[in-house]
Amino acid sequence: QKEVEQDPGPLSVPEGAIVSLNCTYSNSAFQYFMWYRQYSRKGPELLMYTYSSGNKEDGRFTAQVDKSSKYISLFIRDSQPSDSATYLCAMSGKGVTGFQKLVFGTGTRLLVSP
Amino acid sequence: KAGVTQTPRYLIKTRGQQVTLSCSPISGHRSVSWYQQTPGQGLQFLFEYFSETQRNKGNFPGRFSGRQFSNSRSEMNVSTLELGDSALYLCASSFNRLAGVEQFFGPGTRLTVL
């Protein structure tokens, strides 16, 4: 079983829809929960991150973390065709000493149609 | 501030050959990590270099190696290429090694092994 599970999609929605993207994880040591967006032929770009549990909002994007269920979500409101990309969740621990590698989900491909 | 740069962007090699990929981190970043991205496995951590020393290693065979120079630039080498090595190889640099969230990714080198 992978440490981080993510539905690969593709997820197709019409413009203006609310999109929900999710990941589950098994390692309770994870403290940072991140969402990356990756366009075709590009590297991942950090969208937003949450430390520990709770919600975080940034414009049309909202990230939620439920550590008790080991479940994280990214919501996109008023989705736009420019949001069409692959969304990757990633997680890491919080180090006192030592490098914290990122553990990624496989990514969900999102397609927003006009 | 310039981002992470990777060269070359695309490579085509044949089985049995070896390849060297290059990564220039963001100015001031001394930690460079490498990830392999494939459709089936997603992004997987290869290794991390800091102060010219490999500090952390993922679960990849010894054919995958790297090094880091005094200016923090890093190279990754894959010897005796196999078809399964076809992937997008991503480099990420960070200033704060303890926070995985602060890794910034380059555009990647797409390696195709024929």
Q: Does B100 sit within 8 Å of A101, measured CB to CB?
A: yes
Terminal-residue alpha carbon distance, chain A: 37
As beta bridge partners, residue A32 has: A51, A92
- Gap between the Cα atoms of B103 and A73, Å rounded: 21
Half-sphere exposure of A106 (CA within 13 A, CB side): 12
Residues in chain B with CB shorter than 8 Å from the CB of A99 are: 31, 33, 48, 50, 55-56, 97-98
- Gap between the Cα atoms of A33 and B44, Å rounded: 16
- Gap between the Cα atoms of B111 and B19, Å rounded: 9
Task: Pick B42's closest partner by Cβ from A49, A92, A104.
Answer: A104
- Gap between the Cα atoms of A99 and B48, Å rounded: 8
Q: Does B42 sit within 8 Å of A42, measured CB to CB?
A: no
pLDDT of residue A12: 97
Tokens 């496995």 sit on residue: B41
Give the model confidence (pLDDT) of A58-105 as tens digits. 999 999 999 999 999 999 999 999 999 999 999 988 766 667 788 999
Q: Does A90 sit within 8 Å of B100, measured CB to CB?
A: yes
Task: Pick B101's closest partner by Cβ from A34, A41, A97.
Answer: A34
Amino acid at B22: S
Q: B61, exposed or middle or buried, with CB in 10 Å at 0-12, 13-18, 19+?
A: exposed
Task: Pick A43's closest partner by Cβ from B40, B56, B107.
Answer: B107
pLDDT of residue A95: 62
A11-14/A108-113 β-pairing:
parallel
Tokens 């969900």 sit on residue: A108
CB atoms < 10 A from the CB of A46, how many? Answer: 16
- Gap between the Cα atoms of A110 and A92, Å rounded: 24
Q: Tokens for A43?
A: 């590297």
DSSP state of A82: G
CB atoms < 10 A from the CB of B87, how many? Answer: 22
pLDDT of residue A5: 94
Tokens 């290059």 sit on residue: B22
Q: Does B110 sit within 8 Å of A101, measured CB to CB?
A: no
Give the model confidence (pLDDT) of B87-101 as tens digits. 999 999 988 776 667
pLDDT of residue B37: 95
Q: Which of A69-83, B15-29, B44-58 has the lowest mean pLDDT?
A: B44-58
pLDDT band at residue A2 under the 50/70/90 scheme: confident
